[in-house]
């Protein structure tokens, strides 16, 4: 029986990934590593450690222990300075309605400061628990983020549903044993074939979620 819904943030609740991508591109550029926004979209869902590891590896480099905190801080500064993200139309009202029947959680790869800033501003009082990229040892595609969110809700994976928009997030949810609905926000639909269900857009996602009430 479905008792809880766990949402990714960027690309699901918030139209924010372009600002994350811009911030990462600028951060790596300052270190002499040239990437594009698409490089970030393809690894969306990773926490900051995962992003640093993947981009350094692609560049044939190996990060030092101190690089993780340095890159996180710089990326956070760039994002918060330039962020103009907005919630997707209809999501706030939909979640308020869902909250009357289900436990709700967030499981994001973004750092705690950014996640809390966005949730406090746009989804205040909605979620029972919030899991950020800094709250787990292993980020998406590892199942830890979604298993952690389910546990904090007091539920088992079979009682939850994940709403995602990124391949690494879909893999994280499915490896955790959780039913996953995906929306193709920044990547083509075929990138999300691992999900149990793929909707066409946010309008279709919201219509589906209302049917759960």
Classify burial at 12, counting beta carbons within 10 Å of its beta carbon; exposed 0-12, middle 13-18, buried 19 or more.
buried
pLDDT tens digit sequence for 123-141: 999 999 999 999 999 999 9
pLDDT bracket for residue 190 (50, 70, 90): very high
Q: Does pLDDT of 44 surpass 90? A: no
Average pLDDT over residues 60-80: 95
- Name the residue among 21, 15, 37 with its Cα closest to residue 85: 15
Q: In the chain, where are the structural domains located?
A: 4-16+85-211, 17-82
pTM above 0.85, yes or no: yes
Pick the CATH number of 4-16+85-211 from 3.30.70.980, 3.40.50.2300, 3.40.50.1000, 3.40.1710.10: 3.40.50.1000
Per-residue pLDDT at 84: 93
Mean pLDDT of the chain: 96
- Cα separation, 185 vs 27, whole angstroms: 24
Per-residue pLDDT at 5: 99
pLDDT bracket for residue 160 (50, 70, 90): very high
Show the tokens assigned to 187.
Answer: 């990547």
Per-residue pLDDT at 45: 84
Per-residue pLDDT at 107: 98
Over the Cα atoms of the chain, what is R_g? 16
Torsion angle of C-alpha atoms 65, 70, 71, 74, degrees rounded to 10 = 180
Pairing mode, strands 160-164 and 86-87: unpaired
pLDDT bracket for residue 89 (50, 70, 90): very high
Per-residue pLDDT at 170: 97
Classify burial at 49, counting beta carbons within 10 Å of its beta carbon; exposed 0-12, middle 13-18, buried 19 or more.
buried
- Cα separation, 202 vs 184, whole angstroms: 9
- Cα separation, 173 vs 168, whole angstroms: 9
> What's domain 17-82's architecture?
Orthogonal Bundle (1.10)
Q: Does pLDDT of 98 surpass 90? A: yes
């Amino acid at each position: 029986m479905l008792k809880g819904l766990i949402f990714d943030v960027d690309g699901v609740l918030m139209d924010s990934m372009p600002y994350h991508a811009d911030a990462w591109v600028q951060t790596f550029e300052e270190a002499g590593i040239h990437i594009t926004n698409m490089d970030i979209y393809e690894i969306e869902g990773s926490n900051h450690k995962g992003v640093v590891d993947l981009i350094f590896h692609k560049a044939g480099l190996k990060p030092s222990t101190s690089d993780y905190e340095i890159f996180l801080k710089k990326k956070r500064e760039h994002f918060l300075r330039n962020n103009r993200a907005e919630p997707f139309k209809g999501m706030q009202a939909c979640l308020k309605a869902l909250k009357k029947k289900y436990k709700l959680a967030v499981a994001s790869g973004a750092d705690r400061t950014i996640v809390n800033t966005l949730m406090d501003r746009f989804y205040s009082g909605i979620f029972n628990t919030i899991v950020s990229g800094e709250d787990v040892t292993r980020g998406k595609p590892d199942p830890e983020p979604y298993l952690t969110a389910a546990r904090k809700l007091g539920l088992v994976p079979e009682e939850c549903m994940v709403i995602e928009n990124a391949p690494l997030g879909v893999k994280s949810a499915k490896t955790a044993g959780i039913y996953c609905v995906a929306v193709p926000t920044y990547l083509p639909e075929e990138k999300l074939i691992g999900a149990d269900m793929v909707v066409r857009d946010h309008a279709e996602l919201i219509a589906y979620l209302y049917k759960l009430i």
